[in-house]
Amino acid sequence: MKRPAGLVRQNTVLLALAFIGIELLVVLAFVWMVMLPLARRSADDLAGLMVLSAQTWAELPPATRPVFETELRLRQALLIRPDVDGVSVDEWHPAFFYLLERALAGRVGPNRHLIRSNDESGQEWYWARIPAGDGTLAVGLSSARINSRPLAALLIGLAAGLVVAVGLALVLARRVVAPLARLEQASAQLGQGEAPDLLSETGPREIVALSRRFNAMAIQVRELLSARTTLLAGVSHDLRTPLARMRLALEMLRTQPSASLLDRLERDMELMNRLISNVLDLARGLEQEPATPVDMAALLRELADEHATATRPVQVRCESCVRSVPALALRRALGNLLQNALRYASSGPVELVCKQEGVDFCIGVLDRGPGIPVEQVEAMFQPFRRLEPSRSPRTGGSGLGLAIVRELAVANGWKVSLEARSGGGMAAWLVL
């Protein structure tokens, strides 16, 4: 299978062809609209000068004609002879002489083909037979007088333009291809599970946007891989303890059946089921859910009724308003925040509040618990991270609650933050 051409080669060829095409159009327009009118005018003037010179020479006294011929040759590069021997120029000759023949035909009659001859020094002359007086004179024009070479100039211009076009195309193509090559290399590394260096966000706007999006994707993949590793390690660690207790209880049940051992098995299975449910909730955090109109005050009251107890009531401060939100995802996020507040704030009221700030709708879970040190707030959003390090189920949850809230917020375009309250406690805000 034939390998496709590289982007540098394709861009170089296209830009070179485009440059040459534009240059040809410019040259043709310049020749047709500028050079050709000037050449016609110059040929007409030269034809007039040749006719006038012949007529003047015929009218001069014979004694003064040599002086006139010398002056005419020195100043105008023209010669006058009674007649001349040479070859009629019927074949191709420089373009200007075609215009000169036409101009002479317009002044002295048609069929005025020029005659070409060489003098003693080898210089080339073009002669025209012009009626003057009672006869015909031959007026010669040196080829050195018409020293322009438009074809050579065109070829030189095209060659120089081609060199410039190729050089410019190479520079532009490599400027575009270099970031794409780095992107291709980084994508290959990312596909192999490696952590590539972030791309430089410089250059044209489109390249900057592409690099920025790739960097964001690479960071997200890196975080997902890290979260996966942490998740698997945390699950294996947290499952090992109840499994060991269950194995011990089963061995004891073989010899001494006991209701307490069965209760312990049931509690351990419930603990494992809760842990697996939390892990599945975290895994489902990136799933998209369609938005539906929801009465926010009613939703908060339902959440308060579900989680409140006789000893730990939950207060709701929210005016009735309807917003279009993914209801299940919002209930899961607020439920996790509310469970954390009720678990760690052993005293004081827990509140569910909402407020409108510009285009943002903010829902807060406020408590008067011990709070979280500012330097550890961000770490609490990592899976299996707890402020209390013992990881005992009696002193806290599995450490996945805030991680689930963060994943739900990312998936739905929300913002979640934890702030210390004046007077003690913590405020968890979810900004829609």
Q: How many CA atoms lie within 13 A of 240 on its CB side?
A: 7
Q: By the 8 A CB rule, do 130 and 137 touch?
A: yes
Per-position b or e across 399-412, b if 16+ CB within 10 A of its CB: bbbbbbbbbbbebb
β pairing state of 115-118 and 87-88: antiparallel
pLDDT of 293: 92
Cα separation, 402 vs 343, in Å, equals 13
HEC letters along 384-419: CCCCCCCCCCCCCCCCCHHHHHHHHHHHHCCEEEEE
Per-residue pLDDT of the chain (432 residues; tens, 9 = 90+): 455 556 667 777 777 777 778 877 887 887 788 878 888 888 888 888 888 888 888 888 888 888 888 888 888 888 888 776 654 545 567 777 788 888 888 888 766 677 777 777 777 788 888 888 778 888 888 777 776 666 677 778 778 877 877 777 777 777 777 777 788 788 887 777 677 778 778 777 777 888 888 888 887 777 766 666 655 665 665 666 677 777 777 777 777 777 877 777 787 787 777 667 766 665 555 556 788 899 999 999 988 888 887 778 888 998 888 999 888 888 888 888 888 888 877 777 888 999 888 888 999 999 888 878 777 777 777 766 665 555 454 545 556 778 778 878 887 888 998 888 887 888 889 999
* Dihedral sign computed on CA atoms, order 385, 391, 395, 400: positive
End-to-end CA gap in the chain: 53
Q: By the 8 A CB rule, do 268 and 253 touch?
A: no
Under CATH, which architecture does the 289-431 domain have? 2-Layer Sandwich (3.30)
* Dihedral sign computed on CA atoms, order 335, 310, 423, 321: positive
CATH code 1.10.287 region(s) in the chain: 198-286
Structure tokens that stand for 208 in this block = 């900057």
Q: By the 8 A CB rule, do 82 and 140 touch?
A: no
pLDDT of 87: 45
Cα separation, 322 vs 294, in Å, equals 5
Structure tokens that stand for 409 in this block = 């917020």
Instruction: Give the bridge partners for 357, in sequence order.
Output: 360
Which residue from 344, 388, 385, 386 is spatially nearest to 367, judged by alpha carbons?
344
Task: Looking at 256-374, list the stretches that DSSP marks H as alpha helix, in order from N- to C-terminal side.
Answer: 259-283, 296-307, 327-344
Instruction: Give the bridge partners for 169, in sequence order.
Output: none
CATH code 3.30.450.300 region(s) in the chain: 7-151
Amino acid at position 260, single letter? S
- Judged by DSSP in three states, 367 sits in strand
CATH code 3.30.565.10 region(s) in the chain: 289-431
What is residue 282's DSSP assignment? Answer: H
Amino acid at position 74, single letter? L
* Dihedral sign computed on CA atoms, order 215, 218, 223, 224: positive
- Judged by DSSP in three states, 296 sits in helix
pLDDT of 150: 66
Instruction: Give the bridge partners for 117, in sequence order.
Output: 125
Under CATH, which architecture does the 7-151 domain have? 2-Layer Sandwich (3.30)
Cα separation, 169 vs 11, in Å, equals 6
Instruction: Give the bridge partners for 416, in sequence order.
Output: 430
pLDDT of 1: 47
CATH for 198-286?
1.10.287
pLDDT of 92: 61
The count of other CB atoms within 10 Å of the CB of residue 162 is 15
Cα separation, 1 vs 3, in Å, equals 6
